[in-house]
Amino acid sequence: MTIGILGGGQLGYMLALAGYPLGLHFRFLDPTPEAPVGRIAQRVTADYLDHAALEKFAHGLELVTYEFENVPVEAAKFLAARVPVYPPPAALEAAQDRINEKKLFRELGIATTDSLPVLKKRDLDPAIKELGLPSILKTCRMGYDGKGQWIFRTADDVEKAKSSLTPVPMVLERFVPFTRELSILAVRSKTGETAFYPLVENHHRDGILRLSLAPAPRIEPQIQRTAEDAARRILESLNYVGVLAIEFFEAGGRLLANEMAPRVHNSGHWTIEGAITSQFENHLRAVLGLPLGSAGPAGCSAMLNLIGDLPDSADVLAIPDAHLHLYGKSPRPGRKLGHITLRAASPERLALRLSELPAFFHRPDFCLDSALTHSASLPA
C-alpha cells in the first residue's frame, strides 16, 4: 500500500519512518530536488500545480496526505478528484489564510487574539488606532517561523515599516503579553475516533521554535480541557482526518488560539520517544482508518531543535536518554537541521538533564537558559 505525501521535508521524512514498520510505502511530491525524503522514498520533483505530474504522482496511491500547509489548495482539490486526500482540502483553506483561520476560531467560540484585517495600506492607521500599541502586523498567507511579521511598539515603528510593506493582505493583531506559549496536537481518524496529546510548552526565538517541554509543566486540568475542546470543535466542524496542531498563548490564566496547522507539527516531535504513540504513527493510523494509539506521555520530554548548525553527535549521544534526529539537510542559518529529544522520569530529572547539556545549547541564540529560569517552566 503506497501513501502519497505532498511536501518532502523533515515532517514527511518522519512520517515515512513511522510508516515502514506498518508495512506502508511512500511517494513524495516536492518542487525542490534536495528535499530530504529523496534518500528514503520515491520522489516526484515537480511544481504542485503541474497537472501532468500530479496525475503521475497519484497513480496507484491509496490516499494522499500533506506535510506542508502551504500546498496550493488547487493541487489538493485536483488530487481529491482522483484519490482520497486527508486532511480535507477545506482544512488547508482555513489554515492558509490568517483571516479565515481567525474567522473559524470565532465561529466555533474559540477565544483568539483581537485582530483586524489590513487589506490595503490605508487600513493600517485606523487598525492601529482601534487595537492600540504594541501590536503585530502579519501577512495573511505564507507566513511561518516569524516570517512576514512586523512588531510595532511605537508610532515611529509603524511609520518606518510603511515603506517596506508589500501590497498583500495582512492582519493586525493586538500584542498578547502572554506568560507562555502552548500547543496541542489532536488526531481524528476516518472512523471518527479522536485522541489528544497533552499540552506542550514552547519556547521560540526570532519566531522559530527552539524548545518544547512535554507535557507542559504545571497545567491546570481546566486548561487542558479548554485546549481539547477547541481542537474537538475544529476536528468536527471540518470533518477532519489526521493530526491537527493548534498554538495558543496562555495569558491571565486563559488560552487564546494563535494559529493552527493541518498537519504533523514541530511541537509534536517529542512524541517519537516521549509518547506511547508518536504523532507520525497516529497520523497514518488516522488517514488509514486504523485504531488510534494512546496519546499519553511516557515520562517527561524536552525537544530541542537544531537550527543553522549541528553539535557534535558524540556530545549529544553521551547524554543519557538523549535521542538524536538529523534530517539530512545542508546547514544554512535559520534552517531546521534536526532535533534532540531528552526523556526523563520526572520534571526534576529533566531539568537536571537540560542543565547538563553541552555549551552548544547555552549560546545566546538558543533559549535554553531562559527556559530553565522561566517561572512557568521547569522546577528551579
- The only residue of 65, 96, 112, 113 in contact with ligand AMP, by rule CB under 6 A: 113
* Side-by-side strand order, sheet with 42-45: 42-45, 25-30, 2-6, 63-66
| Comparison of 152 and 280: residue with beta carbon closer to ligand AMP | 152
202 bridge partner residues = 181, 212
State the binding string over 249-268 for ligand AMP (x if CB under 6 A, else -).
---------xx---------
Q: Does 204 bind ligand AMP (CB under 6 A)?
A: yes
- The only residue of 24, 44, 99, 136 in contact with ligand AMP, by rule CB under 6 A: 136
Q: Give the cell for residue 18.
A: 513511522
Instruction: Kindly write down the DSSP assignment for every residue of 193-228, as one continuous string.
Output: -EEEPPPEEEEEETTEEEEEEESPSS--HHHHHHHH
Least distance from ligand AMP to the Cβ atom of residue 97, Å:
13
| Comparison of 69 and 173: residue with beta carbon closer to ligand AMP | 173
| Comparison of 49 and 142: residue with beta carbon closer to ligand AMP | 142
| Comparison of 143 and 311: residue with beta carbon closer to ligand AMP | 143
Strand intervals (E) in 94-169 = 115-118, 135-139, 149-152
- Residue 132 · residue 176 · CB < 8 Å: no
- The only residue of 60, 132, 192, 207 in contact with ligand AMP, by rule CB under 6 A: 207
Q: Give the cell for residue 357.
A: 547539556
Least distance from ligand AMP to the Cβ atom of residue 246, Å:
11
- The only residue of 157, 169, 175, 376 in contact with ligand AMP, by rule CB under 6 A: 175
Q: Does 146 bind ligand AMP (CB under 6 A)?
A: yes
Listed in sequence order, the residues at least 6 apart from 188 whose beta carbon sits closer than 8 Å to its beta carbon are 194, 235, 240, 241, 242, 244, 286
Q: Output the CA torsion sign for 150, 155, 156, 159.
A: positive
Q: Give the cell for residue 159.
A: 511609520
Q: Does 117 bind ligand AMP (CB under 6 A)?
A: no
By CB under 6 A, name the binding residues for ligand AMP: 113, 136, 143, 146, 173, 175-176, 181, 204, 207, 247, 258-259
